[in-house]
Amino acid sequence: MQSTIHFPKLRFGNKYIDIFPYWISFLVLGFLFGLVGAFIVLRDGLQVTGLSNRVPWGLWISIDLSSISLGGSAFAFGVIVYLLRLKRFEIVGKLAVLLGFLGYSTAGMVLLFDLGQPLRFWHPIVYWQAHSLLWEITMCVILYLTVLVAELIPIIVELPFFESHPWHEKYPIVKTIVDFAKMVAHWLHKAGPVLAIIGLSLSLLHQASLGATYSVLYGRGVWFNQSAPTQFVFSAMSGGTALLFFLSTFVFRVMRPGLVKDDVLYDVARIAGGLTLLLTYLRVWDWAVTNYYSFDRNISLQTQALNAIAPYSMGFWLGQALLPVIAGSLLISAKSVKNFRYLMAASVIPVFAAILTRWNYNFAGLIAHSTYDPYTPVIRLNSYTPTWVEFAVATLVISYWLLTFSVAARYLPFQSKHEEH
């Protein structure tokens, strides 16, 4: 039996108002504003942005990296549900698949504008560059997005429309399409373990390769970091699982109370806390290896230059070390805390830390650019300011993410009507 969905409402005097229509209207306005910027980019090219040859990656690629990281719960919970067979996480795992799809589809939208030649988006599929990390990342993202669509179809087919609707009898073509969709969903559900293994493999490959894209560049100083691939994998798992807990608490305690037991949500919080503490240990140990146990003049000069124009080091110690330790400790003790407000507040920190990690990785080696002379390195500071067109496109993709999630959270059942599931 499907659980009753409670829609969030605000109280004004003696009246309770459903905020969903107003929220959707706000997001639609943001989407329309973003379409204006998207049109200008597609018409005029990247010259309307603040990007340059010295800073070719900016706001868009940072959003791309962040959205991919926040979809990291999909492959983690695919393993938990289908390979470890912990069925109590199955409903939460469906939400994780949705977040993974939103993260990767958002990244695809951003890249469509960031490429500069959007009509050539299909080139990596046809023209293989097997020695390129970016090509490997592109192929993994395309294939993994396909896997996420395959995992999302059985969830969509659980909608009441596919069970019974007057259109089934009125329009035979609709009945035929619905039966075909249910058959496909049935086979895809049976293939869940296989899809989980494929998704895990593709995710580990491209998440690690994202870190390796920076870490192989020896001449870039702060980018040369041999543990970056591992850190990118764990930051995706940490930030993605923390976001999953935050949204699961809203969807399964506010909108669908009783559908998921509190103990399951506590376990999701504990997983997020453990991953956050592990990631923080890796981050601090990496700092010690780079700055304490060894000394690289190039890195030291870049760090000084970055600290001169922004709180670079403070951002690391506060946003990627101290606060994640506090949040991770609180989340891993979820069953003792038993306060979802505190736990939700703590879960925001790993999400912020994952975003901050990727933003720092992207901009550090571009803003503080080092020469390639290993004996007398010179640091040149570059500047970058996003234009309103870049912010418009950013508004477009963020509005898409929020709009799709809002509709899915309100209408998707997240619960199977069939015992064999």
User: Which tens digit of pLDDT belongs to each residue from 389-414?
Assistant: 999 999 999 999 999 999 999 888 88
Which string of b and e fits 235-274 if b means at least 16 CB within 10 Å?
A: bbbbbbbbbbbbbbbebbbebbeebbeeebbbbbbbbbbb
Phi, psi of 153 (to 5 degrees): -55, -50
pLDDT in tens, 301-359: 888 888 888 888 888 899 999 999 999 999 999 999 989 999 999 999 999 999 998 88
Mean pLDDT for 104-131 is 87
pLDDT band at 1 (very low <50, low <70, confident <90, very high): very low
pLDDT band at 421 (very low <50, low <70, confident <90, very high): very low
| Per-residue pLDDT, 219 | 58
21 burial (CB, 10 Å; 0-12 / 13-18 / 19+) is: exposed
Look up residue 55 and give its DSSP letter. S
Q: Hey, where are the domains in the chain?
A: 9-411
9-411 classified as CATH 3.30.1360.170: no
Mean pLDDT for 168-186 is 86
Q: What pairs with residue 9 in β-bridges? A: 18
> Is it the case that residue 418 has pLDDT exceeding 60?
no
pLDDT band at 379 (very low <50, low <70, confident <90, very high): confident
Look up residue 171 and give its DSSP letter. -
Is the pTM above the cut of 0.85?
Answer: yes
Q: Please give the Cα distance from 288 to 294 (Å, whole number).
A: 8
